[in-house]
Amino acid sequence: MNFQQHVACFIKLLDNNHITEFNKRDVCGALCDKFHLIIIFQYFMRADFKEEDYTPENFFLALTLSHDIYEDTTVLKTIIMGFYYSRKQFVANKLIFQWNKLVLFGRMKYKGYVEKKICNNLIDLVPHKIMAKTRRELHTGFLNNLLLCDKCRCPVNTLHAVKLQKYRTDTEETNSKECKKKKCKSVTTLI
């Protein structure tokens, strides 16, 4: 396959219902931002995928492999694995998942690192609206698996936890004032 055919297959995959649902749930970009998407695309090209290989299963395997190389938390990989298995519709088996990921890595000739320069160059060459997806600052840097974002339930950076707490307090105060005006009995805070 030539480059344009790879791009067309990848765009078609990004429009798949399962991938679209996954991206809708990942509101903060913690699981899959534009850089992870381009890394997945690069992995598919390295594995010399044919059109029939552009599947949601391979997407989630490549995304998890990308997290293995670039991220430092198992919580995000566990969430991704849940999407993989909801697609497969059977009880999650981590060994099968790990084996399939190693098979993909072997097809890539065990080359997992993608330079940021290559990512930046490829982002413009894959014309899809999801390629503008950026990771919320709260989810960058060292992630604390005990602190979860109220918006997406993914781990947050310990340093940004103070910002999150301030946002929660400000939101609660605003909601509380509005609630008193409307004479509500309870206040619900959503971030």
Residue-wise pLDDT for 105-163, tens only, equals 999 999 999 998 988 898 888 888 888 777 766 666 656 555 677 676 677 666 666 66
How many CA atoms does the CB half-sphere of 85 hold within 13 Å? Answer: 15
CA-to-CA separations, 124 to 32, 34, 49, 119, 152, in angstroms, rounded? 17, 11, 21, 9, 27
Q: Residue 145: phi, psi to the nearest 5?
A: -65, -10
Question: pLDDT tens digits for 48-68?
Answer: 999 999 999 999 999 999 988
Neighbours of 76 (CB within 10 A): 22
Does 42 lie in the same domain as 80? yes
DSSP letter assigned to residue 73: -
For residue 26, count CB atoms less than 10 angstroms from its CB and return exposed for 0-12, middle for 13-18, buried for 19 or more.
buried
Does 79 lie in the same domain as 20? yes
Does 147 lie in the same domain as 58? no
CA distance 122 to 113: 15
Q: Which residues are bridge partners to 4 per DSSP? A: none
Does 124 lie in the same domain as 67? yes
Last residue within a domain, chosen from 135, 160, 175: 135
In total, how many domains does the chain have? 2
This prediction's pTM: 0.74
Does 156 lie in the same domain as 101? no
Does 114 lie in the same domain as 141? no
Does 151 lie in the same domain as 87? no
Does 142 lie in the same domain as 128? no
- Structural domain of 183: 136-191
Does 108 lie in the same domain as 16? yes
Which residue from 45, 48, 53 is spatially nearest to 13, judged by alpha carbons?
53
